[in-house]
Structure 1
């Protein structure tokens, strides 16, 4: 799925503009629980719904 890959690539690059551009321009609320620095990492489940060539809904669940 190209929009999801664009999101993942933008996160990996630290590219805020690329991250924003992965989403459909009509807006998206996103709730994310962030782990503090120095954590051992966590598991995550990402569920993307797309509209055209962009993400319209992102459900990110971290464990």
Structure 2
């Protein structure tokens, strides 16, 4: 993985786009070596993407 996806970078994406990105990052995680920087970056990205999806599904004000 080249970078960690931040909340700011995910802000303009739809739930559909976020789910596709989540799947792609999961595949990168599978291909990464345990404990490597790529593995840590993928895990951080998955956490951020998951939070973004939850936020979109809950809607504003919740």
Q: TM-score, normalised by structure 1?
A: 0.28
Higher strand proportion (structure 1 or 2): 1
